[in-house]
């Protein structure tokens, strides 16, 4: 029997290998098309060479090439900046700060002084047990001088600075957030977080408090503004995939609507528009609010697979513990290898013995062989700041204890969200130098506009006015159209790049001609993307109560694709699969062909049956 951990490692290797292969192939095809366009007899080869090579006097910017900059250790750079500031060499310090900020998409956590090692810091050790320190030790006076001088430098660059924490508990140290305002909404960094948890765990209330600023009254006032349908207001349960955004300004402050009274109708209608939040923000956190009820599991699954979230925020009610669908949601997040953050809510109304029981249960589940995560209880601002960059890589799981009524723990969570690395910065997942690939996750018909699609740019760049192909339709064909306009978080933009979530208005396309799971590509001389009806995949059966046989049907989730598939064959000696078995399985889509790529992760389910896998071959 294959363990889930070793299988996940294997499918990650397949995914990375196939993605690298596809990138190389795409670049080779782009070069071929360029060569084909050149007419013989004209000396265009020199022009091409001139286009690909930068001019001798042209220095590569930090955002494009600058491999020397990238290899330079972040801590060494910060130490060098501090030495220049202490020597009062502000010109050199300003140039270095500008270079670092440009490369890091306009945001840097600037650490001053020696700080404890992460294992000591996250274990909550006392100052006497801090052990060996990291970084260069500074006196209290030096910390103040550096904080003052870096503020002047960033101000000259047109940026803002905010103090994340400053402490003299142990060696004097501080962390400052340096941030440049983005030139336009099109370039604002975005972090996508999926919010999951059991019914009545406090998902919508927590989001209401985070995005609206007003605390809850203990009877669900904060969540009312999030509901989209009348039946949700009446039942108090989310049934659809909702989207909420929280903006952070250049100085790190949350962009919140003005304070108002507690009237429910006022709360529902008086909220800031996404456009005004986007315009004021230097960073946006998008929350995909998913349903907690079992009957909406397929909606929740679709939100997790199609939304490409950077992390999953699992909400656990302190009074109930990790029960029901929470375990299901945690299992899905782990299966899809998405980093997990746990928020334990309702700590103000839970008896201390019950809270201790819930904490013990959450810790036990996270440490279990199935999860293999190290729980870190975030109890101060330093922990909240330092865990953001490393929790995903080092299998740490930050745990926040919150009260939406008293506001306890919310500052730590807001700081954590404010510092999360942007989703589009993940170059492993999103490649800007590849041909356009835009995945459709939502479709609407908007009066006086026409058909509008929402989705994620997986690769390449897109501009308003571009000629595009969309498909595949029921016959596997692609149709052509033009992008009329682009919106990002409901604010008009002229272009979009890999990793961004944008809406497109399409020219003269019927609403019925488009469905979720379709892709959009540029209309070029190259052949359109290939649609397949049958494919092979390496799968592991996570759970099935009897046996899986040929012709078995299940719902497949693969990116934005959600369609029933049939098993045509499997390479298992007995011709059947049970829980824990793995095999190479041939699948067939029941209703229509879809656009798939080798290396894409897939999840299939039917009732309580669950399987995890990766696409290995298109047939």
The answer to whether residue 46 is domain-embedded is: no
Across residues 465-492, what is the average pLDDT? 93
Same domain, 150 and 265: no
pLDDT at 44: 43
pTM: 0.87
CA distance 564 to 549: 16
Whose CA is closest to 470, among 500, 432, 510?
A: 510
pLDDT at 64 over 60: no
Same domain, 253 and 399: yes
Pair of tokens at residue 500: 């961004």
The answer to whether residue 160 is domain-embedded is: yes
Same domain, 212 and 280: yes
Same domain, 173 and 201: no
Across residues 47-67, what is the average pLDDT? 36
Whose CA is closest to 418, among 533, 284, 266?
A: 284
Same domain, 498 and 563: no
Same domain, 150 and 235: no
Helix/strand/coil (H/E/C) assignment for every residue in 448-467 = CCEEEEEEEEEECEEECCCE
Report the number of distinct structural domains present in the chain.
Answer: 4
**What band does 120 get if pLDDT is binned at 50, 70 and 90?**
confident
Which of 3-7, 51-55, 450-454 is most confident?
A: 450-454
Same domain, 417 and 283: yes
Whose CA is closest to 178, among 99, 60, 118, 113?
A: 99
**Strand pairing category for 461-463 and 495-497:** antiparallel
Same domain, 106 and 147: yes
Same domain, 154 and 296: no
| Cβ(525)–Cβ(36) below 8 Å | yes
Whose CA is closest to 277, among 260, 259, 255, 258?
A: 255
The answer to whether residue 239 is domain-embedded is: yes
Q: Report pLDDT digits (tens) over 245-291.
A: 999 999 889 998 876 444 545 544 556 888 899 999 999 999 988 87
Pair of tokens at residue 181: 């305002």
Pair of tokens at residue 265: 């109708």
Across residues 429-442, what is the average pLDDT? 91
Same domain, 199 and 332: yes
Pair of tokens at residue 203: 């998902």
> Which one has a higher pLDDT value, 271 or 587?
587
CA 408 to chain centre: 26
Same domain, 281 and 367: yes
Last residue in a domain, options 491, 522, 553? 522
Last residue in a domain, options 397, 425, 453? 425
Domain hosting 74: range is 68-179
| Cβ(428)–Cβ(16) below 8 Å | yes
Task: Give the CA distances from residue 305 to residues 201, 338, 517, in Å, rounded to whole numbers and listed in that order.
Answer: 22, 10, 11
Pair of tokens at residue 423: 């989703």
> Which one has a higher pLDDT value, 433 or 68?
433
pLDDT at 228: 53
**What band does 204 get if pLDDT is binned at 50, 70 and 90?**
confident
Q: How many other CB atoms are there within 10 angstroms of residue 13's CB atom?
A: 12
pLDDT at 587: 96
pLDDT at 213: 80
């Amino acid at each position: 029997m294959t363990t889930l951990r070793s299988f996940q490692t294997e499918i990650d290797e397949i995914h990375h290998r196939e993605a690298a292969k596809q990138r190389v192939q795409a670049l080779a095809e782009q070069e071929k098309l360029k060569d084909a366009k050149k007419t013989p007899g004209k000396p265009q080869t020199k022009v091409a060479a001139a286009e690909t090579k930068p001019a001798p006097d042209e220095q590569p910017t930090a955002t494009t090439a600058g491999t020397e900059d990238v290899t330079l250790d972040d801590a060494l750079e910060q130490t060098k900046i501090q030495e220049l500031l202490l020597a009062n060499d502000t010109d050199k310090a300003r140039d270095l700060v500008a270079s670092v900020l440009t490369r890091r998409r306009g945001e840097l956590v600037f650490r001053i002084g020696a700080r404890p090692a992460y294992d000591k810091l996250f274990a909550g050790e006392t100052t006497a047990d801090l052990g060996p320190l990291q970084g260069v030790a500074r006196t209290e006076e030096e910390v103040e001088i550096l904080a003052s001088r870096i503020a002047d430098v960033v101000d000259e660059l047109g940026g803002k600075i905010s103090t994340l924490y400053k402490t003299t508990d142990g060696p004097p140290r501080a962390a400052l957030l340096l941030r440049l305002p983005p030139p336009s909404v099109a370039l604002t960094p975005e972090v996508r977080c999926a919010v999951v948890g059991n019914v009545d765990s406090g998902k919508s209330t927590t989001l209401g408090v985070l995005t609206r600023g007003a605390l809850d009254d203990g009877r669900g006032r904060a969540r009312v503004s999030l509901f989209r349908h009348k039946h949700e207001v009446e039942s108090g349960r989310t049934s659809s995939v909702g989207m909420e955004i929280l903006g952070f300004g250049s100085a790190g402050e949350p962009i919140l609507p003005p304070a108002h009274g507690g009237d429910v109708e006022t709360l529902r209608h008086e909220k800031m528009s996404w456009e005004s939040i986007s315009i004021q923000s230097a960073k946006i956190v998008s929350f995909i609010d998913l349903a907690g009820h079992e009957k909406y599991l397929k909606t929740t699954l679709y939100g997790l697979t199609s939304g490409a979230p950077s992390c999953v925020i699992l909400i656990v009610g302190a009074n109930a513990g990790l029960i029901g669908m929470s375990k299901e949601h945690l299992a899905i997040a782990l299966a899809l290898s998405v980093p997990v953050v746990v928020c334990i809510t309702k700590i103000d109304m839970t008896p201390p013995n019950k809270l201790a029981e819930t904490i013990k249960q959450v810790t036990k589940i996270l440490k279990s062989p199935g999860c293999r995560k190290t729980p870190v209880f975030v109890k101060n601002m330093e922990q909240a700041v330092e865990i953001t960059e490393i929790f995903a890589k080092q299998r740490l799981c930050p745990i926040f204890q919150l009260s939406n009524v008293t506001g306890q723990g919310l500052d730590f969570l807001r700081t954590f969200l404010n510092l999360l690395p942007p989703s589009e910065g993940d170059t492993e997942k999103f490649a800007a130098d590849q041909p356009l690939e835009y995945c459709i996750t939502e479709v609407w018909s908007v009066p006086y506009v026409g058909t509008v699609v929402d989705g994620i740019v997986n690769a390449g760049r897109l501009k308003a006015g571009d000629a595009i192909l969309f498909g595949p339709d029921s016959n596997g064909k692609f149709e052509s159209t033009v992008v009329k306009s682009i919106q990002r978080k409901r604010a008009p933009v002229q272009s979009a790049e890999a990793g961004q979530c944008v809406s497109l208005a399409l020219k003269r396309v019927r609403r019925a001609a488009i469905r979720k799971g379709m892709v959009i590509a540029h209309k070029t001389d190259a052949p359109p993307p290939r649609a397949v009806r049958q494919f092979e995949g390496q799968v592991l059966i996570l759970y099935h109560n009897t046996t899986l046989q040929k012709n078995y049907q299940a719902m497949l989730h693969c990116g934005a694709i959600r369609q029933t598939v049939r098993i045509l064959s499997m390479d298992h000696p007995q011709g059947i699969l049970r829980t824990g078995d793995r095999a190479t399985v041939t699948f067939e889509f029941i209703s229509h062909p879809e656009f798939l790529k080798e290396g894409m992760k897939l999840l299939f389910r039917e009732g309580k049956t669950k399987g995890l896998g990766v696409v290995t071959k298109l047939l």
